[in-house]
Structure 1
Amino acid sequence: MTFIGKAIHISIDLALVSTCLAGIKRNTGLTFKTESFQNETAKVYTTRYLNIGESLYDSAVASCGSSKYFVRK
């Protein structure tokens, strides 16, 4: 696998983990504690990373909500 292929694979994996964390946040209220980082840059990038998961989660929910294959109960 080439370098670009591995980079794409890792990027998708990171997006899936972020989306999973967003789902945990929405369903349980548990969220990642970014205040524990001493480095301000790490806090900023972690928050951005988690926001990507939030937007992916919202997109997936909206897509499923408008699909004929899913119903709300």
Structure 2
Amino acid sequence: MTILGKAFHISFDLVLVSACLAGIKRNTGLTPKVDVIGDPHVKGYVSKYLNVGESCYDYTVATLGSSNYFVRK
């Protein structure tokens, strides 16, 4: 596997984990404790990472909500 393929695979996996954390946040209210991170730069990157998951989760829910294959109960 090439370097570019590995980078894409790892990036996709990271987005899936972030979207999973966003789903957990929306359904249960549990969120990762970002305040315990001491470095403000790392805290900023972690917040951006979690926001990517929120955006992907919102997009997925909106797309599936307008699909004919899914119905809300």
TM range (shorter): over 0.9
The AA in structure 2 aligned to 1:63 is T
| Structural RMSD (CA) | 0.3
Q: How many residues align?
A: 73
Q: Normalising to structure 1: TM-score of the pair?
A: 0.99
Structure 1: which 4+ aligned runs deviate by more than 2 Å? none
- Distance in 1 (CA, whole Å) between partners of 2:11 and 2:24 is 20
Equivalent position of 2:29 in the other structure:
29
For structure 1, the 5+ residue unaligned runs are none
For structure 2, the 5+ residue unaligned runs are none
Note the 1:30-69 alignment, pairs <5 A. 30-69=30-69
Q: Normalising to structure 2: TM-score of the pair?
A: 0.99
- Distance in 2 (CA, whole Å) between partners of 1:32 and 1:51 is 12
Instruction: Give the % identical residues.
Output: 63
- Distance in 1 (CA, whole Å) between partners of 2:59 and 2:67 is 12
